[in-house]
Structure 1
Amino acid sequence: MTRLILSLLTAVVALFLVSLSLGPADVSLGESLAALFDDSYGPLTLVMQEIRLPRAILAVVIGGGLGLTGAAMQGYLRNPLAEPGLIGVSSSAALGAVLAINTGLAAALPLGLPLAALAGALAGVFLVMSLAGPQGGSLSLILAGIAISALAGALTALVLNLSPNPFAANEIVFWMMGSLADRSMVHVWLVLPFVGVGIAILLTLARGLDALTLGEDAAQTLGMNLNRLRLLLVIGTASIIGGATAVAGAIGFIGLVVPHILRPFVGGQPSRLLWASGLGGAVMLQLADIAVRVILPARDLKLGVVTALVGAPLFLHLIYKTRKGLA
């Protein structure tokens, strides 16, 4: 376990440095890092501080949050197919952002889009918890999440369908593909509190998730308050996904695939998988963001497209391996 964590940490740091050194200008890593702390480099300092650094930080923070929420959801539901979007927060946040773009709020206010997305995420959480009820179990949570996700998706499609402005519709479509391009330190400071609080909450659930591997009855016998566990899980997941979606748009498959890849290395223990998946998610999103800038640097390839193209085949391969192992 220690070796795995150290390997993932090393990969995160190495990819962070690579991300800082990538750009259209042919500048060495040493010069790029020097410009990050020295104003005498002029335009290069501005590029490093306002473009490359925020993008690199967001890749680590958002990727880590997505990986962690995936592991927490799978541990709580004891279902390897569970992922953060299952409780409807991603769709609700996307609906809020879509409304901000379509109504012109995103253009009128610098932070109109991310704040609207956060408002949508909060509204989605409120509806999910209201539908699931205070005493509802994991099945109630799943059904409520699916219902809210379907409703938010339908409303998003309706907004697109009725949008009188083709430019707004185009912007909505591109935003929903997910991207870290053109983000600033303002976006970093906006997302950090939400993701930070969410991570802190989910990490406190480690003992409860381990107990749930024995079943709900056994977990309650061990003194676990399952209603409190569910509430904290939803709040932590909503905080991370709401913040991430508000800033980066819809980025899928990280919370689904990363826990699958790392589960064999931690013996299937949820508490260990939380830490590993957080670091693994950061690695995967960094790799995807680097690929976006290397493969088609002039075409603005979207991050969510890359994670889906890589994640879907990988997930199918994992399903095939699981079926083969059970045969």
Structure 2
Amino acid sequence: MGRPSYPVLLLALIGLVVVLFFLSLAVGQVWINPWNGLVANGDQLAKADKVILWEIRLPRALLAVFVGCILGLSGAVLQGLLRNPLAEPGVLGVSASASLGAVLAIYSGLTTSFAYALPIAALIGALLGVLLLLSLAGRGSDVLTMILSGVAITSLASALTSLALNMTSNPFASLEIVFWMLGSLTDRSMVHVQLAVPLIAVGGVMLLSTARALDALSLGTDVARSIGVDMKRTRFLAIMGTAMGVGAATAVAGAIGFVGLIVPHLMRPLVGSRPSKLLPVSALGGAAFLITADLAIRLMLPDRDLKLGVVTAIIGAPFFLWLLIKIRKRIV
């Protein structure tokens, strides 16, 4: 069978995300008809069901869509920019820096005095991480230097996170740090949505604006420069878009890995390697992937607080190994 046409694929993915979104609103320990609560007359729902739908499930479903979108999109952009099939948002140290900011907020006790200190600190951590990346890599840096700079930042942020976890004397703070680092969308509110979604949207626009430059870059750096592609601008948009979007996603959802690695590889056989076509479907695929993983948690273990980052890691780690084996065979 051949590939589906691009418009058909886009419409199919949009329809899948919409169906999964409404399913996410309906599924849980209490089954609710979201149509009655969101579209039809809301009086048809009991008061308790309204609270569950609007205060618990709607923020969770919205965050799953936007966080999945930015993770899938940033993974596709970074794989095109770095020309590395193993690239994903963590390679730049953004996720680790955001995690460090959140951990320091918990360690210092700021979260007990200010409810939203954790996501704000995570955003600041992501911003400082990308500024450090830009200073280490330099303006005219090559791909290898950028990757090595990202690895160094990730190692440093992880070491400082482990130090904070080791030094804390409060067992409740230690438990909160560990749970947050596992990644989850549980108990998020509309305030988290209002905090993260605008930054994710801006970051997503910046990433999508690199599509034409990445098309040219797929032919080689020299070819891209010869046809007028501004490589500094493209790098800046890709790095800052990833920092803003993934930083905001990590700030409200914790560390959720492998989405940016898996989704572009799943979408590539359907559209080819042209970034201008791959980026939108990777965003939609990321949203569908994360909502599906979140639904699986609620259906498989409804009585246990299984973390979303654990599920994506269980799926992603074998995929990563398979990808390494595939690349190795191609080289040999």
Q: Note whether the superposition's TM-score is higher than 0.5.
A: yes
CA contact (8 A) 2:32 2:49 kept: no
Is the contact made by 1:36 and 1:49 (CA closer than 8 Å) also made in structure 2? no
Q: Would the aligned equivalents of 2:106 and 2:177 in 1 still touch at CA under 8 Å?
A: yes
Distance 2:149 2:41 in 1: 46
Name the structure 2 match of 1:143: 148
Amino acid in the other structure paired with 1:25: V
Tell me which residue corresponds to 1:16.
Answer: 21
The AA in structure 1 aligned to 2:48 is P
Within-5 A mapping of 1:1-150: 1-33=6-38, 37-38=42-43, 41-150=46-155
CA contact (8 A) 1:21 1:32 kept: no
Match of 1:161 in 2: 166
Which digits, 9 at most, give the CA deviation of each residue in 1:105-142, with x for residues without a partner?
Answer: 11211111000000101110111111111221222211
The alignment status of 1:186 with 2:167, answered yes or no, reads no
- Contact map agreement 2:34 2:53 (CA 8 A) in 1: no
Identity fraction in percent: 55
Mapped pair 1:298 → 2:303:
yes
Greater CA drift, 154-163 or 315-324: 315-324
Aligned to 1:211: 216
Equivalent in 238, 254, 278 of residue 283 of structure 2: 278
Provide the TM-score with structure 2 as the length reference: 0.94
Task: Note if 1:288 corresponds to 2:293.
Answer: yes
| Alpha carbons 1:94, 1:176 under 8 Å: kept | yes
Tell me the CA shift for residue 216 of structure 1: 0.7
| Superposition TM-score, scaled by structure 1 size | 0.96
- Structure 2 counterpart of 1:299, one-letter code: R
Q: 1:321 offset after TM fit, Å?
A: 4.8
Partners of 2:63 and 2:218 in 1: how far apart?
33
Aligned with residue 250 of structure 2, among 240, 245, 252? 245
The residue type paired with residue 113 of structure 1 is: L
The answer to whether the Cα contact below 8 Å between 1:89 and 1:121 also exists between their aligned partners in 2 is: yes
For this pair of structures, how many residues does the alignment match?
Answer: 327
CA RMSD, Structure 1 to Structure 2 (Å): 1.7
What residue ranges of structure 2 are gaps of 5+ in the alignment? Answer: 1-5
- Return the offset for 1:56: 0.4
Does the 8 Å CA contact 2:37/2:45 hold for their aligned counterparts? Answer: no
Q: Deviations over 1:32-53 (max 9, x none)?
A: 5468944973221121111110
Deviation at 1:160, TM superposition (A): 0.7
SS at match of 1:60: helix
Matches of 1:195 and 1:241, distance apart in 2? 7
Cα distance in 2 between the residues matched to 1:191 and 1:14: 23
Q: In 2, distance between residues paired with 1:62 and 1:221? A: 36
Paired position in structure 2 for 1:172: 177
- Residue segments in structure 1 that go unaligned for 5+ positions in a row: none
> Do the aligned partners of 2:82 and 2:143 also contact (CA within 8 Å) in 1?
yes
Cα distance, 1:214–1:99 mapped onto 2, change above 3 Å? same
In the alignment, the residues of structure 2 paired with residue 249 and residue 287 of structure 1 have an alpha-carbon distance, to the nearest angstrom, of 18
Change (3 A) 1:144 1:315: closer
**By how many angstroms is 1:316 displaced?**
3.0
**Given residue 173 of structure 2, which amino acid in structure 1 is its aligned partner?**
A
Match of residue 225, structure 1, among 212, 221, 230:
230
| Residue 201 (structure 1) aligns with | 206
The 10-residue stretch of structure 1 (132-141 or 16-25) with the greater mean CA deviation from structure 2:
132-141
1:72 CA displacement? 0.1
